[in-house]
Amino acid sequence: MNRLVFLLVAMPVVWVVGAGRADAQVSFKTEYFGRSAYMYAPKEGSDVRVGKSEGSSVVYQGAAYIPFYMKRNEGKCPTMWGVKFGGAYVSLDNEHFTREMVSEIVNLQLGVSHMRPLGKRWSMLANVRAGVYTPFAEFSRMRWNHVMGSGGVMLIWHLRRNLDVGGGLSVNNSLGYLKVFPSLYVNWRLNGKFKVNVTMGEEVELLGGYEFNDWFKLSLALEMNRQMALMKKEGERMMFSHHYTVVGVKPEVRLGKSGLSLFAMGGLNARRSAEYHDEYRSSILLALFAQDYYFRASPYVAVGVRLGF
């Protein structure tokens, strides 16, 4: 565990998907989910509690995006290459479960992204990456069946100066075979004292806030994120997923012109799933509505640091 936390601090991660990003960024965040009951949602009828099962969770994650090539054409549209590092450690404190449950998750990722203009209003965004997704923290136990490769190509339409929308295809080998699925991207920004940012990619983030001055901003936020573990269960390749949707108040303090900012978030974990399934759910939004087992709402607190340079 100590080696893993050191790795996450020394080489932190959260995938930076923002199309057109030309600056390097590093971030690290710790999230706490309060204890709540474990529920089952049948296709018909009301949701029911699974015995006396309950649980809480702590997630440590960080992100780094480093561009190593950037050139703008005459229209100021960028051609970029960048490298992404990513990692997360999840500690699941589960109690009173009658079936086997995962107690920790490790995700480590490395990827390369490329973006280039296709005219004045269109761009192409491509990426390829490989990651390790395990239900334990011991590096000596990691095997090839815990590795997943993925990639994708997306066309992005710069509809307005503050609105980008796009779609494309992605592929991965999450369960031992190649699977192709559609992908969606939306990025909407509203500047001024009142700021709005909507990002829908591998993560979902909706922010609406007020910038009091150059160093302090206060926002209302809705965020969706997930981690997963690949494994074999009863001889079959399975996936254990940890999805969550959180809402709350998010203050952020910028420390001068250093590019360093501190942020926190306090509010409600609206829904947190933790379950086994035998297929990769490509969309975090679709996965939200496909959950059969989940933890009820609970308090949520997060703190983090971000450095741009």
Q: What is the pLDDT of residue 218?
A: 96
pLDDT score, position 281: 55
Residue 67: what pLDDT? 93
Instruction: Pick the closest to residue 117 from 70, 170, 84 (CA basis).
Output: 70
- The residues, ordered by sequence, that sit 6+ positions from 177 with a Cβ below 8 Å of its Cβ are none
Give the per-residue pLDDT at 302: 98
Domain count, the chain: 1
State the pLDDT at residue 223: 94
pLDDT recorded at residue 287: 53
Structure confidence at residue 239 (pLDDT): 87
pLDDT for 182: 79
> What does pLDDT average to in each consecutive run of 10 residues of the chain (309 residues)?
37 35 84 96 86 96 92 84 95 92 94 92 92 92 88 91 88 68 82 82 84 93 92 82 94 89 96 80 52 90 93
Q: How far apart are CA 293 and CA 162, in angstroms?
A: 38
Would you list the DSSP string of 146-183?
GEEEEEEEEEEEEEETTEEEEEEEEEE-TTSS-EEEEE
Closest CA to 282 of 159, 165, 154: 154
CA end-to-end distance (rounded Å), the chain: 30
pLDDT, one tens digit per residue, over 26-82 is 999 999 999 999 999 887 888 899 999 999 999 999 999 999 999 888 877 889 999
Show the domain range for 303.
2-308
Q: Please tell me the number of Cα atoms within 13 Å of 213 on its side-chain side.
A: 5
